[in-house]
Structure 1
Amino acid sequence: MNICNRNCCEYKINSSYIKWLIEVLGPVILGSKPSEILNISSKDKDKDSKLNDINSFFSNCYKLSYYIINISDGGIRIIFINRSSLSNVLDNKKCLNFLKFIGYPSDYNLDSYIELLIDKLHTKDFPHEIGIFLGYPLKDVVGFMGYGNYKFCKTRYWKVYGDESISDSVYNKFINDRSKMKKLLESNSLSQLKSVI
């Protein structure tokens, strides 16, 4: 085993890409958002480099799990999951009942739910229930999928249906955690952040 004494991860990875990614993942790392999905196009000439950087930086991460999903057009989807935060979301009986209603196992198990979502992400039909896994309010996911009588209001990172105040509160938590992570990036090196992520 080689032990680097020169902050080697900063030399081996594209710092600007990883810094951007850590900022995007700020809400997931800090726990306000249970997961985030990232797409890398098959046309992205830096696709392999980005994937190597992600593996290099996040391979021993204790706050996040990540899954790489190859899609039919040659692109990649990567889902980053804060298991503790996702478990809290899925502890909500309404979320769990809705997922069961659309075909998730009746016996809830976090790993089996993640596996089913990942299986669905391999298909052409995008699983819109991913909004629950991304931490969006259930009413917005249900409204987007055409269930219930929720009226479309506006678009944030997602389409908002029904009571806007609930969605605004969730959105503001995501934005605040992203800002916190940006400040951490400004005052810490990648190797310092890697040791706590």
Structure 2
Amino acid sequence: MNAAPQKIPALMAFLDWRQALAQMEERVRRFDAWVFLNASSVLLSEKTGELLAMDLQEMGMTADDVEFELERLSGKWNFDYKLFAESNGFLKFIVYRRDRLRAVLDESPYCVMVGQLNYSHPLSPESFLGEVKERWLEQGSVPHEIGVALGYPLEDVFGYMGLMPLACKGVCGWRVYGCMKESQRRSCAFNNARCQALAFLAGSAAA
């Protein structure tokens, strides 16, 4: 039997926050819970980053409001963020862990990132996401290489983009071009984090 979500160390760090939810202003409470749930695979698991799209009208917020609140939470919850684009009432941004992104960028093949995708070298989390944002705004769509920052195995990202001569081996939430076992392990970990977050939030009223 799996341990209850409240017993998991990563969730213990959020107990005080959960207990304070009832005393928060409604808008702040909704925002915090939304970020906690939708970025749970980053906050509670090993995922490098999560690309999010927030409905500003539904949340009753502006892009500036969101940035202000993300800045507040990032210090408390130990994450980084980057705003990308606002369109059709949605603000697109990434919540990520800088150390994880730096590690995966260090592992990324030079011949792909620089030789084929024309990113500068050496890459840093800030320069990579800054270039992703510029390309997104220029092209009008998210560049596929953002997958590098979203916790997917590099072979899966570059195989999907046709930058590595790999055949698709199957699907586990995304197309797998590398090790199926590793991709399945990550997929299960990401999904489990969201389930834990849902259960944790469900206990907020009784906390």
TM-score, normalized by the shorter chain, greater than 0.5: yes
Partner of residue 33, structure 2: 19
* Residue 173 of structure 1 pairs with residue 151 of structure 2: no
* Residues 135-191 of structure 1, C-alpha deviations (whole Å, 9 max, x = no match): 1111111121112332223333322224321211111221232233334434458xx
Cα 1:90–1:31 change in 2 (3 A) is farther
Q: 2:44 aligns with which of 30, 50, 60?
A: 30
Contact residue 9 and residue 57 of structure 1 kept, 8 A: no
C-alpha deviation, 1:65, in angstroms: 2.0
Whether the 8 Å contact between 1:17 and 1:50 is mirrored in structure 2 is no
Match runs of 1:80-95 below 5 Å? 80-94=95-109
Q: Which is further off, 152-161 or 25-34?
A: 152-161
1:109-124 matched pairs, under 5 angstroms? 109-123=124-138, 124=140
Structure with larger RCO (C-alpha < 8 A, sep 6+): 1
Provide the residue aligned with 1:79 in structure 2. Answer: 94
Aligned runs of 1:139-150 on 2, under 5 Å? 139-150=155-166
Question: Would the aligned equivalents of 2:105 and 2:124 in 1 still touch at CA under 8 Å?
Answer: no
> In structure 2, what is the Cα distance between the partners aligned to 1:52 and 1:156?
36
Q: Report whether the alignment pairs 1:59 with 2:74.
A: no
The alignment's TM-score, normalised by the length of structure 1, stands at 0.74
Distance 2:203 2:179 in 1: 38
Aligned pairs, number: 182
In the TM superposition, what whole-angstrom CA distance separates every residue of 1:54-85 from its partner, at most 9, and x where no partner exists? 44643222212222233465642111121122
**Secondary structure of residue in 2 paired with 1:103:** coil
SS at match of 1:152: coil
Extract unaligned runs of 5+ from structure 1.
1-5, 193-197
Q: Which runs of 5+ in 2 are unaligned?
A: 1-19
TM-score (norm 2): 0.71
Gap change, CA 1:86 and 1:169, over 3 Å in 2: same
Q: Which amino acid aligns with 2:126?
A: D
Q: CA deviation at 1:132?
A: 0.8
Match of 2:142 among 126, 132, 149: 126
CA distance in 2, matches of 1:163, 1:77: 30
Across the aligned residues of Structure 1 and Structure 2, the Cα RMSD in angstroms comes to 3.1
Distance 1:56 1:156, change over 3 A: farther
Identity of aligned residues (%): 23
Distance 1:78 1:58 in 2: 10
Counterpart in the other structure of 2:123:
108
Q: Distance in 2 between matches of 1:13 and 1:168?
A: 36
C-alpha contact (below 8 Å) 2:108/2:154 kept by paired residues:
no
CA contact (8 A) 2:85 2:137 kept: yes
Contact 1:32 1:177 in 2 (8 A): no
